[in-house]
Structure 1
Amino acid sequence: MKYAVSFFIVLLLVVSGLLFIQYQVYSDNLEAGQGEFTYTQEIEIDYRNNSLDIRQHFRNLPNQNIDIKWPPLAINPDCFLESEQTCERLSEDKTRFEIGDSRSQSLSYVIPLDGGLQSKHLLKDLFVTLGNAKVSYSTIHITTDSQIEGQWVTGLPLIGQQSLSLVNYSMFSGQGEVNEVYYIADDIKLQHSTDLISIYAKTPLDEQFHESINSIQFLNEHHVAIVQGESHSGQQGERIVFVNDLTLDGLNQSVLLSQIDSLYDFGDNPRWMKEVIAAFLTGSVSLENKSSQIVNALLNHMSDKQLESWIQKLEQLKGTKITSTVLDKELSEVLQKNTEFFELNETVEDVFTLLFSDNRKVILDQNVIEDVNLIYQNGLLYYSSDEILAALGYEVSDGPNGYYVNSELRQFRFPENHKFYVFNQRRYDTISNPFTTIMDKRYIEESWLQRLFLVEIEKTNSEITISPITTLQ
């Protein structure tokens, strides 16, 4: 009993120590502004004198240092005295909210518009963002002089708009962050609206189209605004999507790509990479293009369990930077084989075949052959031919009549694209080609290597041992 009590006391001290350390780390993170948090925001935009006067109110802020990132074009940054407490946490250099009990703070700033408010301009990076934080809900109010008519779009659901004697007013509100607004002077109106999608078009949508919109697949609950037409710059927004033709297929693809962009950091990666990820997350392939061919190639190679694991990995990558290297790493883990499938497809316009590399050491005469590459294609193992044949004692070269492999007693010639080879001046027909070209490099299939060049091959999990069964002298 005495030992049990002693053990319990020691255990209690250890647990207490761990809790104290965790609390210290937590406290240090708060003081350093490293604790992640969510907040809500309300943004007031007043267009006057060729500028957007903006007041941005932050709610539900934690008691920690919070970095402030001002918009690149903002001038006259300051706090906004909405109440007695809404200015008390802004630092003197206006780069952060300092530790404080007030959970609401307000800022004001001005965004000059070169040439004033222009129709069809997508205005991006307009608002303040906070470090280490995500916006859970946003509300935007936009006010202009009554003489300025037209439609505002923010990517949030339109709650209402009103034309008064002196001003025009619009209000938007919904889940998530918003970083852009769009203004168009043309006669374009909100024709369809749900919690997830709004469609602004010149003419009303027919009833069948309204019903078909319900079949659109969404990857998150953040609202998307579809605008018929183009922005002046030709750019797409994060939550504002421009389409010329309002077709269901085009709409579905535009929405998916917009939401994929909000879920991952693609940088300047090609469009097909986004389409591939969207296809796996939604379980649909709609277009006959490079992305659909890549998806089908992977589906044809995956078991149901591997497909489930692959989709889980794509889900886990949300919020991270996506590159071909990252996708190849995850795909290799799922398939338990090394591949550079995505990286290779970045280098060609068509679709590169799904290949797998074998990293096992190749042993000949108890020595490792360093330069031999091993690749699986269509279930067959190929060896880089120049390196493996040279290691076996042959001289290899390309000539006018094909690929030459020679030793003192054994001379081979393999014509390109012909189903025969010549051995010691005698022709032999073949059903399949011993060689294939992969990434501009010639490879020989394993069974042909054994048959033509008289070697035995033994394999372990880490090595492939090649043993000649005859000499070349």
Structure 2
Amino acid sequence: MKIIMRTLVLLVLINAVLLYMHYSQMEGAAGKGSETATYDQEIEVTQRNDGLYIRQHFKGLENGRYEIVWPEQSENEACYIKDKSSCTRMNDSVTAILEGDAAEQSISYQIPIKSSDSSNLYENLFAKLRNGTVGTTMLHVTDETNSGGVWISELDRIGTKKLNRIEYTMFYGNGKADLLYWQNKELPEAYRSEQISIFGNGVHKEQAARLQGLLKKVDAPHMTVVVGANQKPFMKGRLVLTDQVDTELLEGRLVQYGVMARYGIASSERMTANIAASLLIGEPYGNGAAKKAYEKITEKLSATQLEQLNKKLGSTSKLEPQTMDQLIGEVSGLKTTFLEHAADEQYGFYFEDPRELKINGEKAENISVLLEDGQVFYSGKEFFSQLGYTLESNQQSIYVTNESNKYRFSLRDPFYVLNERKYSLRTEPYKKMNGTYYFEEDAIKRIFSLKIEKTDGAIDVSSAEGKEGETDK
């Protein structure tokens, strides 16, 4: 009885502290906004020999409908009667929370567990509300199996208490909880801060402090790192398990994963995360393409523009590739579609002229106007098609032809041929970018006898009289 009373007192004290933390953090987060309704949750996990028994309380619900997404492994899903209103909005099949005034609804379910002598990693463990975003999560883990060891979540571990018959651990933090890890060997908490907790040995305080600083710069939610001998490597969301301390790899992954968690970036859009991280931290992160893109952005934008871009990133809650392109465009006054197409490995970062393009008085669609090395380039195939030409190429030449004119540009020597007459070239009028040939503006004006006029809102291309070729060869 005394043990139970001590446990209850401990829970009451911890809950009081966490409630204070919760409202303080919610005040600080005000103004960021979200695209979907935000709710908080409290989750109680009890481990018994036959499984994990879970009670999940959704709090701060708005009066709209929420669809419940149950874990794949869950069993015995039900509404949990916590008080007289905790099930009033639940439909009969327990698949949705219906419209209503009750701000808190509760559910219960079980997850079968696989027996293990050393460790267990649970993924996608908890239920979710499809059209809602988690603000904060309070997670209680009570182990009734007397198995010992340590429980770890991506959330910050607030406290742990081991009694004669049960072991209790509490976690709390911003955002959802997807992962829960247990291992039978105790691990020391080597470092703990607002942004990161590190369990295990081998990470120096200086390294940990740098990680904390980087994660703070990108405003990442709390992340957890577990370092242990013979540890099977695992990196997902905000939890990293590793068997060795590779500082460079750990830093890169944590920053990338932290930004993905901060902005809700999909795992397939890591380029977006790397560009955002580079801008927020002020140094290049990610692969070669991301680093080159960052270099071009910082070369083009002034210090004031970079500061404006970081402010826009700081006030953004959801970041998609098109959003990142748009933010860069808003600050620079130019256009870029790099992140929108970054899945194509041939696609490089270029600034584009945002003005409307007209050819012979008609609006030209799907023609890129790239700005590179102080020059202007038009996407050849689409551009010449609008002028009535066909562009084809092989390993030796580029052919631009219509009924009356046939151009052949050599890809090996500095010349082109027009209707069997050869002209020398001082510089190549074309450049291969993003896997296709682009033609330089001044060159196409001369070679194709075009007139190009520019205003604040448009680029007008039209045919000009006569033809001024390059020097005869």
Distance 1:173 1:410, change over 3 A: closer
Distance 1:417 1:53, change over 3 A: same
1:434 counterpart = 2:432: no
Would you say the 8 A contact 2:357–2:363 is kept in 1? no
Distance 1:456 1:143, change over 3 A: closer
Distance 1:388 1:195, change over 3 A: closer
Query: CA deviation digits over 1:230-288, x for unaligned, max 9?
Result: 99986533332234433554443333222222233433524333211122233332566
Q: Say which SS state the counterpart of residue 276 (structure 2) adopts.
A: helix
Shift of residue 221 of structure 1? 6.5
Would you say the 8 A contact 2:54–2:109 is kept in 1? yes
Q: Where does residue 226 of structure 1 map in the other structure?
A: 225
Q: Give the aligned residue type for 2:245.
A: L
1:450 counterpart = 2:449: no
Distance 1:184 1:327, change over 3 A: same
Q: Give the aligned residue type for 2:306.
A: L
What's the TM-score once normalised by structure 1's chain length?
0.73
Q: Where does residue 166 of structure 1 map in the other structure?
A: 165
Distance 1:373 1:232, change over 3 A: same
Q: Say which SS state the counterpart of residue 236 (structure 1) adopts.
A: strand
Q: Where does residue 46 of structure 1 map in the other structure?
A: 46
Q: Say which SS state the counterpart of residue 464 (structure 1) adopts.
A: strand
Q: Say which SS state the counterpart of residue 142 (structure 1) adopts.
A: strand
Q: Say which SS state the counterpart of residue 244 (structure 2) adopts.
A: coil
Query: CA deviation digits over 1:340-399, x for unaligned, max 9?
Result: 3224442126x6251525641111xx7888897654433323345577779989998768
Identical aligned residues as a percent: 24
Q: Say which SS state the counterpart of residue 173 (structure 1) adopts.
A: strand
Would you say the 8 A contact 1:50–1:117 is kept in 2? no
Corresponding residue pairs, total: 431
Higher CA-based Rg: 1
CA distance in 2: counterparts of 1:85 and 1:391, whole angstroms = 66
Would you say the 8 A contact 1:122–1:233 is kept in 2? no
Shift of residue 212 of structure 1? 4.5
Alignment of 1:325-344 (within 5 A): 325-344=322-341
Shift of residue 116 of structure 1? 3.1
CA distance in 2: counterparts of 1:392 and 1:163, whole angstroms = 78
CA distance in 2: counterparts of 1:238 and 1:408, whole angstroms = 58
Shift of residue 441 of structure 1? 3.9
CA distance in 1: counterparts of 2:193 and 2:384, whole angstroms = 66
Alignment of 1:135-174 (within 5 A): 135-145=134-144, 147-174=146-173
Q: Where does residue 213 of structure 2 map in the other structure?
A: 215
Distance 1:352 1:66, change over 3 A: closer
Distance 1:140 1:301, change over 3 A: same
Question: Structure 1 residue aligned with 2:345, among 337, 348, 352?
Answer: 348
CA distance in 2: counterparts of 1:369 and 1:135, whole angstroms = 45
Question: Structure 2 residue aligned with 1:469, among 466, 469, 473?
Answer: 466
CA distance in 2: counterparts of 1:199 and 1:157, whole angstroms = 10
Please say which of residues 173-182 and 62-71 is displaced more in the overlay.
Answer: 62-71
CA distance in 2: counterparts of 1:64 and 1:427, whole angstroms = 73
Q: Where does residue 192 of structure 2 map in the other structure?
A: 193
Would you say the 8 A contact 2:228–2:243 is kept in 1? yes
Q: Where does residue 290 of structure 1 map in the other structure?
A: 289
Query: CA deviation digits over 1:446-472, x for unaligned, max 9?
Result: 322333445544444432223122599
Please say which of residues 384-393 and 166-175 is displaced more in the overlay.
Answer: 384-393
Q: Where does residue 237 of structure 1 map in the other structure?
A: 236
Q: Say which SS state the counterpart of residue 53 (structure 2) adopts.
A: strand
Q: Say which SS state the counterpart of residue 360 (structure 1) adopts.
A: strand
CA distance in 2: counterparts of 1:161 and 1:393, whole angstroms = 74
Distance 1:289 1:230, change over 3 A: farther
Q: Say which SS state the counterpart of residue 468 (structure 1) adopts.
A: coil
Q: Where does residue 279 of structure 1 map in the other structure?
A: 278
Would you say the 8 A contact 1:71–1:128 is kept in 2? yes
Distance 1:381 1:231, change over 3 A: farther
Q: Where does residue 112 of structure 1 map in the other structure?
A: 112
CA distance in 2: counterparts of 1:367 and 1:287, whole angstroms = 42
Distance 1:89 1:163, change over 3 A: same
Shift of residue 163 of structure 1? 3.5
Shift of residue 432 of structure 1? 2.0
Structure 2 residue ranges without an equivalent (≥5): 1-34
RMSD: 4.3
Would you say the 8 A contact 1:458–1:466 is kept in 2? no
Distance 1:230 1:288, change over 3 A: farther
Would you say the 8 A contact 1:122–1:232 is kept in 2? no
Shift of residue 110 of structure 1? 0.8
Alignment of 1:409-424 (within 5 A): 414-420=409-415
CA distance in 2: counterparts of 1:178 and 1:395, whole angstroms = 56
Alignment of 1:17-416 (within 5 A): 36-41=37-42, 43-61=43-61, 67-83=67-83, 86-87=86-87, 90-97=90-97, 104-113=104-113, 115-117=114-116, 119-130=118-129, 132-145=131-144, 147-201=146-200, 203=201, 205-209=203-207, 211-218=209-216, 219-220=218-219, 222-228=221-227, 235-286=234-285, 289-315=288-314, 317-319=316-318, 322-323=320-321, 325-348=322-345, 352-356=348-352, 359-363=356-360, 374-383=369-378, 402-403=397-398, 414-416=409-411
Distance 1:377 1:136, change over 3 A: closer
Would you say the 8 A contact 1:121–1:231 is kept in 2? no
Shift of residue 111 of structure 1? 1.0
Distance 1:257 1:447, change over 3 A: closer
Distance 1:196 1:447, change over 3 A: closer
Shift of residue 199 of structure 1? 0.5
Structure 1 residue ranges without an equivalent (≥5): 1-33
CA distance in 2: counterparts of 1:371 and 1:97, whole angstroms = 45
